[in-house]
Amino acid sequence: MEAVRVAPADTDLDQQNRALGTSTPEVLIEWASQRFGDKLIASTSFGATSAVMLHLVHQVAPRTPIICVDTGYLFPETYQFAEDLIKRLELDVHFYAAPMSPARQEALYGKLWEQGEEGVNRYLQINKVEPMQRALHDLGAEGWMAGLRSEQTEHRAGLRRIDRQDGRVKIHPILHWTDDEMTAYMERHDLPYHPMVQQGYRSIGDHHSTIPTTADMDPRDGRILGKTPECGLHLPLTEEQNQSLKSSGL
């Protein structure tokens, strides 16, 4: 009978962070793969530099399922970029979307992202948070790897390389990498940027709320969806969200 894996306690996470806090991304991914086995997943947005994290997973733990949340409002270039990377790196990508199509949402509710913070929060809950939680549930994820970096947002600056979110262990292999380290890795392995980077898009999300930025701006200034630079995927669920997901059968 297969052994039951027990989620590490917070004290165990403290110990693992002390042991692995300065390790290479490859070592951390290998640790996660050995610890969680087929209960390990990774997530990606197929954004500007997503090829880095996807290549690392491909190199170290190539059988890891990868989740991509498809809001239905991604740029055409994002869908094309995703297909190119999937073929090149032979990735096992699972696309998840809201049960309600974008056309139906707009017919019933209008353009939620234009309806202030309440509308934005509803948009994110429908199109990002719920699909991601459903994906994690469907794949039985106990460990979740994400390519977050500490210099991206204030929230991410406070994360640990091995952390916890909503009962799952969250692993951030490239958390402390700088832009220069990202560039060096991409050049060393001849990895592609998202094609819209050449047009000044340095942080790429939905087409209705992403704009180009200049070199003197924070890349996240190009994401104009609501007041927070976080889309909700990498934030702990609120009590209201937990209740909503429970009632939906997750």
231 as an active site residue: the answer is yes
Q: Where are the alpha helices (DSSP H) in 25-177?
A: 25-36, 50-60, 76-89, 102-109, 116-124, 130-138, 154-157
Q: Tell me if 210 sits within 8 A of 203, measured CB to CB.
A: yes
The structure tokens listed for 4 are: 């039951």
CA pair distance 203, 220, nearest whole angstrom = 6
Q: Tell me if 32 sits within 8 A of 97, measured CB to CB.
A: no
The structure tokens listed for 187 are: 């050049």
Q: Tell me if 64 sits within 8 A of 92, measured CB to CB.
A: yes
Q: Of the candidates 109, 117, 58, which has an alpha carbon nearest to the alpha carbon of residue 85?
A: 58
- Which residue in 41, 57, 60, 231 is the catalytic one? 231
Report the catalytic residues: 231
